Amino acid sequence: MYTLIKITDSPLRTRFLLYFIILTTAPVLVLGAVAISLIDASHRRDVSALELQLINQKIEETEKFLERTLGVLEVVVGYDQKVDIELTQQNFFLDGLLSENDAFEEVSFASVDSAAYGKETAKKSKLYKNPELFTVALLPKFIEAKEGKTYISEVYYTLKGPFVTMSAPVRNRNGIIVEVLSAEVSLQEVVQSINAGSIGARGGIVLADNNGRLIAHREPIFASGAKIGNIFSIKRVLAGEKVDALQPQDRYESLFYKEPVVGAGKKMPDLGWAFLAEWPLSDADAVINGVRNQVLILTLVSILGVLFFAPLVASRLTKPINALKSGAEEIEQGHFDKEVSIATKDELGELGLAFNRMAKGLKRLEELKNEFVYIAAHELRAPVTAIKGYVSLLVEGRAKGGVTLEAAEFIDRIDRANEGLVHLVNDLLEVARSDAGKIEIAVQPVSLGAVVKDVVATMRILAEQKKITFQVQGEIADLHVLADPDKLKEILTNLISNAIKYTLGAGALAIKYELDQGMVITHIEDTGVGISFEAQKKLFEKFYRVKAAGTEEVNGTGLGLFIVKQLVQKMGGKIWFVSQEGKGSTFSFSLPRVS
């Protein structure tokens, strides 16, 4: 027979569960967090690299445009002598420049010759047929070029967009400067290059000149030439700060996009123009958010998995321990036959086997003890009965006045003591028989009313001596139960005698019946001392006696209720009680009814 192992809430299992959950979820959480932060960091670096790469590309394109355009103006003419170029040739040359270069709006020659120093000699414009000629001697475009340098002015803004003025010296074959050639250059090509630059789906570039005015931006929110130098991010780039999309302040609410962006910027070395790349976060972080969510979901799923499996693992670990615990409890209850079953082939499995061997040993010991008690009680019965016989002869002799008063008193005491001894020996014998399974019961239909009447008749005197009223429910004459008549008498005698014994002083005793699903229940009610809550749990154990105030003098062995329970159960019934300390108890037992 195997013990049914029921896993109830156990602290050990809870502890296992906690350890398991902590040991498994902590690394998962740490790994998840590390993975997310690594992914995040690498993503930030990628964003920064992409933005800076685009900026570098745009700076390069802008520089190339300016260089190329300026290169066109650096002319060397085919003369040796230091003289002005002929006017027709100048005009012809300027016409050629305008028609071949989209960027040029207006081109002009200015003289370096002392006679016409600083005066424009020829000028061609895409807007006017005959543009006016001015003296430019004091303008930087003339001064710089005449000194042999090339010149690019600050950006200025017209209805046609941003422009710069460029100028360069015209030299003869000997390297002597003979004219200054200048041009008004549209930056439309730069604007287009900036507008075409993109990162991701929506990221783009802002270009501002060194004075903080807008040259170009993809989103036409500000007009060309608008003053944007005070916008925080532009200001930082113009101030030469490090803006590389990695600083905390590189993530901000953009005025161009009207939403949070990540920005990176650079200042063009020579002209000091500011290039700022901005990428809306919703676009830049779209992919990484997906990855982060996946890592998060994976982490959560792992934790849920752990939470699901942890109780199973904990149960596996505590199951054998709980089996041993409930096995030990069975043994404590005297059930030595119960075996624990631990299926594992490890130390715990071996412990289970050892436990079962120990239970067998205990069972053998119990059997030996029962045998001993049985033999001892059996052997004691004969001398005790003999003593009883002789004492009753003495009691008779005392009645006839054959003994002294003192001897009479002793005889009385011997009689009472021997009576107790007889009781004990009988109870012991009965218990030993019960333990050895030797109680013989022969059930037959018995009139419950007749047996109760019989027992009550002998008990009534005892009750009356203690001023306890006796009440037996009447209509039981034809109630028959299936029982062994002698054992039924023993049960009733025991319960009624207890009810009398444990009622100190006057009281009331009642016997009542009840029919319940083919059983007859007999209730024995008393108004005695009652039984405390703690004592109730042990009441049917062998040799258990309650230590209640006032009952110290009451004779007893603590075996009566144990025997009664065995007898009731053997006859197919049950026994129970309800009791309230100080108020009284009701003992009830059921027996099968015979109709």
- Report the interface residues with ligand ADP, using CB under 6 A: 498-499, 502, 526, 528-531, 539, 544-546, 551, 556-562, 585
Number of other CB atoms surrounding residue 483 within 10 Å: 28
Residue 190 or 561 having the CB closest to ligand ADP: 561
Residue 193 or 557 having the CB closest to ligand ADP: 557
Token pair listed for 274: 């500011």
For residue 19, give the 3-state DSSP assignment: helix
Cβ 524 to ligand ADP, closest distance in Å? 8
Cβ 543 to ligand ADP, closest distance in Å? 8
Cβ 584 to ligand ADP, closest distance in Å? 7
Cβ 570 to ligand ADP, closest distance in Å? 17
For residue 341, give the 3-state DSSP assignment: coil
Answer for the pair 215, 209: CB distance below 8 angstroms, yes or no.
yes
Residue 252 or 577 having the CB closest to ligand ADP: 577
Q: What are phi and psi of 143, to 5 degrees?
A: -60, -45
Residue 426 or 557 having the CB closest to ligand ADP: 557
| Contacting residues for 480 by C-beta, under 8 A, at least 6 apart | 445, 446, 447, 448, 593, 594, 595
- Scanning the structure block, which residue is given the tokens 């159960």? 569
Residue 146 or 501 having the CB closest to ligand ADP: 501
Cβ 420 to ligand ADP, closest distance in Å? 10
Residue 355 or 502 having the CB closest to ligand ADP: 502
Cβ 360 to ligand ADP, closest distance in Å? 30
Residue 195 or 551 having the CB closest to ligand ADP: 551
Residue 203 or 560 having the CB closest to ligand ADP: 560
Cβ 344 to ligand ADP, closest distance in Å? 43
DSSP string, 125-184: ESS-SSPPP-B-TTSHHHHHHHTT--EE---EEETTEEEEEEEEEEE-TTS-EEEEEEEE
**Cβ burial, residue 30 (10 Å; 0-12/13-18/19+):** exposed
| Contacting residues for 64 by C-beta, under 8 A, at least 6 apart | none
Residue 447 or 493 having the CB closest to ligand ADP: 493
Strand partners, 511: 472, 524
Token pair listed for 341: 């079953």
CA distance 396 to 402: 9
CA distance 475 to 452: 12
Q: How far is CA 262 from CA 249, 266, 268, 281, 544, in A?
A: 9, 14, 20, 6, 85
Cβ 13 to ligand ADP, closest distance in Å? 38
Cβ 459 to ligand ADP, closest distance in Å? 13
Cβ 473 to ligand ADP, closest distance in Å? 18
Residue 380 or 424 having the CB closest to ligand ADP: 424
Cβ 469 to ligand ADP, closest distance in Å? 16
Query: Shortest CA distance to 322 belongs to which of 345, 347, 348?
Result: 348
Residue 46 half-sphere exposure, CB side, CA atoms within 13 Å? 12
**Cβ burial, residue 57 (10 Å; 0-12/13-18/19+):** middle
Q: How far is CA 540 from CA 176, 215, 427, 446, 536, in A?
A: 133, 103, 14, 26, 8
Cβ 548 to ligand ADP, closest distance in Å? 6
Residue 64 or 467 having the CB closest to ligand ADP: 467
Residue 397 or 558 having the CB closest to ligand ADP: 558
Token pair listed for 293: 């969510």
| Contacting residues for 355 by C-beta, under 8 A, at least 6 apart | 324, 327, 328, 340
Sign of CA dihedral 149, 155, 158, 161: positive
Q: What angle do CA 275, 277, 281 make, to 5 degrees?
A: 160
Residue 73 or 563 having the CB closest to ligand ADP: 563
| Contacting residues for 419 by C-beta, under 8 A, at least 6 apart | 388
Cβ 545 to ligand ADP, closest distance in Å? 3
471: enclosing H helix or E strand: strand 468-472
Query: Shortest CA distance to 348 belongs to which of 321, 377, 375?
Result: 321
